[in-house]
Amino acid sequence: MKELLNKWYKNHALVYKILLFLSTTLFIVYLFPKTGKFRFSFEKGKPWQSENLYAPFNFAIKKAQEEIESERLEVENNASVYFDLNTEVKDLVLSEYLKKFNQTFKDTLDLNTNESSLYKKGRSFVDLLYSNGILDTDYNYPNTKPVVLVSSNTIEKQLQYEDLIEIGQLRQRLDDHFSESPSADRNKIISLFFDIIKPNITLNESLTQNALEEELSQISQTRGSIDKDQLIISKGQVVEDEEYIVLNSLKSEYESQVWNTANYNWVLVAYTLLVALALLMLLLFLRKYRMEVFLNNTKVTFIFFNVVIMILLTTLVISYNSQYIYVVPLCILPLVLKAFFDARLGLFAHVLTVLLLGFIVPNSYEYMFLQIIAGIVTILTVSELYKRANLFISVGQITLIYIIAYFAFFVIQEGQVTSLKWETFGLFILCGLATLFVQPLIYIYEKVFGLVSDVSLLELSDTNTKLLKELSNKAPGTFHHSLNVANLAEASANEIGANAMLVRVGALYHDIGKMKNPTYFTENQSTGINPHDELSNRESARVIVNHVIKGIEIAKKHNLPDRVIDFIRTHHGTSMVYYFYMKEKAENEDLKLEDYSYPGPKPFSKETAILMMCDSVEAASKSLKEPTTTKINDFVESIIDKQMENGQFLNANITFKEIQSIKKVLKHKLANIYHLRIEYPE
């Protein structure tokens, strides 16, 4: 059991990567749709590229969305409107009419009221009004709109909307009906009716809506069917409207209805294999080309996390509305990975993410082409992300590439531009604006994952930071030396295409350990007193070597990033404190090399190798007496060649050609520092 635990502990980093790989794979597969994917691609108005297609099973032909919408509109226009009819209102109005009529005309009529012609005319008008009914308000339905009158859940009458009387029509109907009556009687009877008339019809909204929904539900989503083995389309045949509808029906049926439990499980297995294969390629890339990233579980987790976030956002948008697919700022992925790592890793992860999304997005080829091109443009254009203007310029270029590529695809598919969907361009602009969120996102990632980007490096390069201020106060000579090394290292990094900002920051902080015992280093000895005169050679060597250990302790105390601490660890590699070693060797030949050697490790990147060269050359250049161009050239060659002979650059991915370029830069810079003129031949 103990051996098993020890074995697990020794391989815990690998175990973690395996668990991360499996969990990421399963989560991505969980996000994917669990259906098969139609294996044929086709476009309306384009020839069918595959072999003759026969129906693999019986399926119904689905109506086009426009056809369904047309039928829905027709049903809505012809659907009946249900009104509640109050049959008691008419009796109440007649009773009120008799009462009001007797009160109004009792002095002017000689005959019995019931036999009065005016009364009978009014009585017939009431019958006319309530023959169909009076609406409680104007509903603005078309005159031909079917109407159903309902009383006590019983249909009383079916008619058209124009057969009902609106309140606004009452005055006109009164004038027409009593047009032949004497003027005085007409005004009185009209006034009487305005007092007694009451509406008896009100809209029944719930019944109307239920009836409409029932009729809409009866609309068929299909028209006709295709039998198994029936020829759907021949090779080379143009996909016209009818063929396009049939093919879409087959695709929809294939992806949604033909999958039983066994099919579902096979699809799940297939998705898992493909996703696992893509993520495995990412891990293998890290292991082969970015070993320092592969060995750091935090960085591997960070890369996988960003890939998953992009897939999650895209699947959420697709589930909501696939038309907004281009709003997802997928180019944030290469931007972030380039900011923390490098362009090659950023592009590789971006391409793999786009390939995975090709399973679930509509028009997958168009989507993948646009996103890969945009990712390439992102990598090519974005440099020095800490400069705000650069980010805005790059986002503008990315948006422009999106628009140009989409326009080209649309013209290829449609053959014209009149029906161009301009709103899609708006989606690309929104995508560009969302991409600007990468700046605060980088800051959040730095805090959560403990990483460092060029933005943080820019802040650390400020010589007014607390730590560099302390260095300048306690060890002014070391501070001046660090500034000179930073300038040399930055110029060298720019020459060979290394990270100039990173190497500059590393140079500024590489000697902070000298703050503990500043007077033990010659650049800080302004009084002429050398404390090493009171120490043995071994003790002096230990003091010199310990400035690396002290520097690491100070850096960790001030929360400097690991990328910066790496420069403190490696700027002397495993070299020797040669002066005290040779001094002791002259007196005592029985020496231990480790007592006079730095603990290492050796430089393991271009940037750390550059710092070792520049630090050694700048420090040793102070010993040059009456420097000339020839002396400087030989001096630089001698120091760097010695470091190469000692194998200090074996772990760094730096070439001989790049080292020669760095030598050239150092020679030129030192010549400028010592104000040397070019030696012209006599």
List the single range of 212-221, 231-240, 397-406 with lowest mean pLDDT: 231-240
The rounded distance, in Å, linking the Cα atoms of 106 and 100 is 10
Q: What is the band of 386 on the pLDDT scale with cuts at 50, 70, 90?
A: low
Give the CA radius of gyration of the chain.
Answer: 44
pLDDT at 114: 42
State if pTM tops 0.75: no
pLDDT at 666: 93
Q: Is the pLDDT of residue 25 over 90?
A: yes
Q: Is the peptide bond before 601 cis (omega within 30 degrees of 0)?
A: yes
Q: Is the pLDDT of residue 312 over 50?
A: yes
The rounded distance, in Å, linking the Cα atoms of 78 and 80 is 6
Where residue 298 falls (left for φ over 0; alpha for ψ -120 to 50; beta otherwise) is alpha
The rounded distance, in Å, linking the Cα atoms of 496 and 666 is 13
The rounded distance, in Å, linking the Cα atoms of 323 and 280 is 31
pLDDT at 285: 93
Locate all alpha helices (DSSP H) within 558-589, ordered by sequence: 562-570, 578-587
Secondary structure of residue 619 in the 3-state scheme: helix
Is the CB of residue 170 less than 8 Å from the CB of residue 130? no
Return the ∠ at Cα 361 (arms to 358 and 365), rounded to 5°: 55
CATH of domain 461-673: 1.10.3210
Where residue 652 falls (left for φ over 0; alpha for ψ -120 to 50; beta otherwise) is beta
For helices 364-381 and 332-340, what crossing angle results, to 10°?
Answer: 30
Return the ∠ at Cα 13 (arms to 10 and 14), rounded to 5°: 95
- For the chain, the domains span 2-32+262-449, 74-215, 461-673
Q: Is the pLDDT of residue 243 over 80?
A: no
**In sequence order, which residues have a C-beta less than 8 Å from that of residue 308 and are 6 or more positions away?**
24, 27, 28
Which burial class, exposed, middle or buried, applies to 296 when counting CB atoms under 10 A from its CB (0-12, 13-18, 19+)? middle
pLDDT at 39: 61
Taking residues 299-321, what's their average pLDDT? 91
Could you tell me which residue, 573 or 584, shows the higher pLDDT?
573
pLDDT at 680: 45
Could you tell me which residue, 579 or 512, shows the higher pLDDT?
512
* Helix, strand, coil % in the chain, rounded to nearest 5: 65, 5, 30
